[in-house]
C-alpha cells in the first residue's frame, strides 16, 4: 500500500474510533430489543463524513475507495457495531458512483453522504434464486415515456427503512432483449414510497435491527431518468454493485469473527473450573488460534481485492473468494467462541450465540458459497461448468 493510501486509511480509522467511543455494543443491543433503527449511530457516521467514503468530493463525499469503506465496516463490526444497513447502502449506491449521470448522483447519491437517504438492493426473486438472468420482474416503457414495473423481490434487507432501491429488472424493450437474456437486464433507481409498492416481512431469525422483506411491484411508475446508463446494460453494471457487496459483507464477517473471538479469549483467561484457566488447554487454544488465522487470511484477500477493484481492474474472482473465506472464518470463530463458553455460549446475555444466525447467513447470502465455488471452478480453474447444463431427455 502506498504511503498516501495508508495515510488516508489511518485518517478513516481514527474517525471511526471517534464514533466508536460514543457508541458501544449495548447501544446496538438496545436497538435490536426495541426493534428500532439505530438512527443516532447512523447520524454520527454521516456527521463525521464517513458516509462519504468512496464518493467523490464533487458529489459531497470524502473520496477514497472501497478499501476505506471496507475498513470502516470491519472496524465497526470488530466493536460489536455490525450495522447491516451501512454496507447495504454503500454497495447499493455504488452503481451510481460508477455509472450514474451527474444529475442522478446529485439527486440520489449525495443525500446518502449526508445520511438523509438510505438504499436497498433488489436482485433476488423467489423463482430465480442465484440465477439473476431468470428474474421475472419487468419494466416496460409506456407511451408517456415512463417505465411500469411489475414483479417481486425477496430477501430484501432494510426495505422498510430504505428510501430508494437499486432495482435489477428486465426491460423487454432493450436492444437484443428478445435474443439474449443478459441483454434484457437494466438498472433503475426506484423510490420506495412510489404507489404500487408493498412489502411483507419475512421471519428471518437474525438478531439485527434490520429486517428482511418480500417487496411487490404492481404497475409502479418509474421515470425514464431513473435508468442508470443504457437499457440492456444492467448485466455489466450489476457487478459494480455485486462485487462491492461481496467485499463489504466480507469485511463485516471478518469484524464479527474478531469480536466474538475477543470475547472467547477474555473468557478463556478467567474461566478456571479446575483451578487453571481453560485458555491454558490446547483443546481450547487451538480452535481459537485457527479461527484467528483464517480471519486474518480472509482479511489479506479482502485488502488485495479492494485494491484491485479501486484500481479499476477485474476483481470478480478475488471478491468472491473474499466472501467465501470471510463467511467461513466468521462461522468458525463463532462456533469456537460458543464451545469455549460451554453452556454460557447459548445464553443470550453472554452475547455470543446472538452472532450465530448472522454469521451462518453470510455463508448463504448474498450468494451461497457453493455458487462461489462453482464460479471459481469454471472461471479461474477452467473446469467445465457444473450447473445449469442443458441435457437431452432421458439423460
Torsions phi, psi of 222, nearest 5? Answer: -130, 125
In this predicted model, what pLDDT tens digit does every residue of 134-188 receive, in sequence order?
Answer: 999 999 999 999 999 999 999 999 999 999 999 999 999 888 777 787 889 999 9
Give the chain's domains with CATH numbers.
Answer: 3-113 (1.10.540.10), 119-231 (2.40.110.10), 236-380 (1.20.140.10)
Q: Give pLDDT, residue 270.
A: 97
Residue 395 binned pLDDT confidence (cut-offs 50, 70, 90) = very low
Average pLDDT of the segment spanning 379-385: 96
CA distances from 212 to 125, 160, 199, 204 (A): 13, 9, 10, 7
309-316 contacts, C-beta under 8 A, 24 or more apart: 309/65, 309/66, 309/243, 309/244, 309/247, 310/65, 310/66, 310/67, 315/243, 316/239, 316/243, 316/375, 316/379
Reported as a single tens digit per residue, the pLDDT across 318-367 is: 999 999 999 999 999 999 999 999 999 999 999 999 999 999 999 999 99
> Which residue reads 474478531 in cell numbers?
258
Amino acid at each position: 500500500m502506498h504511503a498516501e493510501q495508508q495515510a488516508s486509511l489511518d485518517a478513516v480509522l481514527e474517525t471511526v474510533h471517534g464514533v466508536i467511543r460514543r457508541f458501544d455494543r449495548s447501544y446496538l443491543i438496545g436497538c435490536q430489543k426495541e426493534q428500532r433503527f439505530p438512527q443516532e449511530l447512523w447520524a454520527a457516521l454521516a456527521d463525521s463524513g464517513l458516509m462519504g467514503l468512496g464518493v467523490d468530493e464533487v458529489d459531497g463525499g470524502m473520496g477514497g475507495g472501497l478499501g476505506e469503506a471496507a475498513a470502516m465496516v470491519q472496524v465497526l463490526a470488530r466493536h460489536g457495531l455490525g450495522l447491516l444497513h451501512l454496507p447495504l447502502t454503500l454497495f447499493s449506491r455504488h452503481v451510481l458512483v460508477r455509472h450514474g449521470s451527474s444529475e442522478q448522483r446529485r439527486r440520489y447519491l449525495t443525500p446518502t453522504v449526508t445520511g438523509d437517504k438510505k438504499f436497498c438492493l433488489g436482485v433476488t426473486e423467489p423463482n430465480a434464486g442465484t440465477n439473476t438472468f431468470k428474474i421475472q420482474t419487468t419494466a416496460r416503457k409506456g407511451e408517456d415515456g415512463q417505465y411500469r414495473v411489475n414483479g417481486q423481490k425477496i430477501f430484501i434487507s432494510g426495505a422498510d427503512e430504505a428510501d430508494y432501491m437499486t432495482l435489477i429488472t428486465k426491460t423487454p424493450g432493450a436492444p437484443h432483449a428478445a435474443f439474449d437474456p443478459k441483454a434484457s437486464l437494466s438498472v433503475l433507481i426506484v423510490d420506495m414510497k412510489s404507489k404500487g409498492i408493498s412489502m411483507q416481512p419475512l421471519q428471518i431469525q437474525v438478531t439485527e435491527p434490520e429486517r428482511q422483506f418480500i417487496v411487490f411491484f404492481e404497475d409502479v411508475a418509474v421515470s425514464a431518468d431513473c435508468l442508470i446508463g443504457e437499457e440492456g446494460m444492467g448485466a455489466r453494471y450489476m457487478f459494480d454493485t455485486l462485487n462491492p457487496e461481496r467485499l463489504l459483507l466480507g469485511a463485516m464477517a471478518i469484524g464479527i469473527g474478531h469480536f466474538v473471538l475477543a470475547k472467547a479469549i477474555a473468557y478463556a483467561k478467567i474461566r478456571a473450573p479446575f483451578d487453571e484457566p481453560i485458555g491454558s488447554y490446547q483443546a481450547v487454544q487451538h480452535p481459537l488460534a485457527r479461527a484467528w488465522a483464517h480471519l486474518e487470511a480472509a482479511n489479506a484477500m479482502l485488502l488485495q481485492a479492494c485494491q484491485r477493484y479501486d484500481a479499476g481492474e477485474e476483481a470478480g474472482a478475488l471478491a468472491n473468494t473474499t466472501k467465501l473465506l470471510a463467511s467461513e472464518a466468521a462461522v468458525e470463530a463463532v462456533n469456537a467462541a460458543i464451545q469455549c463458553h460451554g453452556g454460557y455460549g447459548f445464553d443470550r446475555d453472554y452475547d455470543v450465540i446472538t452472532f450465530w444466525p448472522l454469521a451462518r447467513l453470510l455463508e448463504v447470502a448474498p450468494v451461497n458459497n457453493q455458487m462461489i465455488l462453482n464460479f471459481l471452478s469454471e472461471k479461474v480453474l477452467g473446469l467445465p461448468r457444473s450447473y445449469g447444463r442443458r441435457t437431452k431427455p432421458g439423460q
